[in-house]
Chain A
Amino acid sequence: EPEVTQTPSHQVTQMGQEVILRCVPISNHLYFYWYRQILGQKVEFLVSFYNNEISEKSEIFDDQFSVERPDGSNFTLKIRSTKLEDSAMYFCASSAQGANTGELFFGEGSRLTVL
């Protein structure tokens, strides 16, 4: 069964460092997303991406964050200068259509720890 894969599964970094989280969505999907879950809190929407551009982003997704689909298969989330409060589980997801007509498929998550 096709699945969304994420790397790394866990990354520890120092505050102020750049981090890139990688995702390989399901191959025929058109919509891509990043969500995050801070420990003990809700899963929160960060950004959606379609047709090589951001469709929507939350207020969390500030100038420190960027997304890219560099080669037609990977989908990356970059945090330019990490802060302590960026520590969270980051989930990548993809869908063939919008969620109300199709489902989102999530990866297992990448745990980011900022020291």
Chain B
Amino acid sequence: GDSVTQMEGPVTLSEEAFLTINCTYTATGYPSLFWYVQYPGEGLQLLLKATKADDKGSNKGFEATYRKETTSFHLEKGSVQVSDSAVYFCALEGAGGTSYGKLTFGQGTILTVHP
């Protein structure tokens, strides 16, 4: 079945540091890929998505590129802020259009950014 593997955390960075959170997946066909973020006390929010190979999703300075050849969707940000401290989840939705909203999640990565 489908699976998502995320970089183990927690990740602790200083403000303005470069961020990479690795995500690889196993799925048949061409799934849609997502990064969700959960800030303290809030629900999961969609951060960005990519629905086909070589697409780049971007939002709030975060980027991730759908790499079919390496089955990866790594999250990057050039300069993190304290306000980026949160839990980040990589997820996929299987191809075929029959499982709308059935997301397979990675284990989540806790990011803490210090001033």
Contact = CB atoms under 8 A, between A and B. Distances in A.
B17 interface: no
Interface residues of A, number: 28
A56 interface: yes
Contacts of B81: none
Contacts of A33: 101-102
Contacts of B51: 100
A35 to B, nearest CB: 8
A16 B37 CA distance: 34
Contact of B106 (A35, A42, A109): A42
A106 interface: yes
B24 interface: no
A60 interface: no
A55 B102 CA distance: 10
A45 B43 contact: no
B4 to A, nearest CB: 8
Interface residues of B, number: 25
A50 to B, nearest CB: 8
Nearest to A6: B43
Interface string B8-41: 0000000000000000000000001010100001
Contacts of A95: 100-101
28 contacts: A31-B101, A33-B102, A42-B105, A42-B106, A42-B108, A43-B44, A44-B105, A48-B99, A48-B100, A48-B102, A56-B102, A91-B44, A93-B44, A95-B101, A98-B93, A98-B97, A99-B100, A99-B101, A99-B102, A100-B32, A100-B51, A100-B97, A104-B101, A105-B43, A105-B46, A106-B45, A107-B43, A109-B43
- Of all A-B residue pairs in the complex, the 6 with the closest CB atoms, nearest first, are A98-B100, A106-B43, A100-B32, A103-B46, A106-B44, A43-B105
Interface of A: 3-4, 31, 33, 35, 41-45, 48, 50, 55-56, 91, 93, 95, 97-100, 103-109
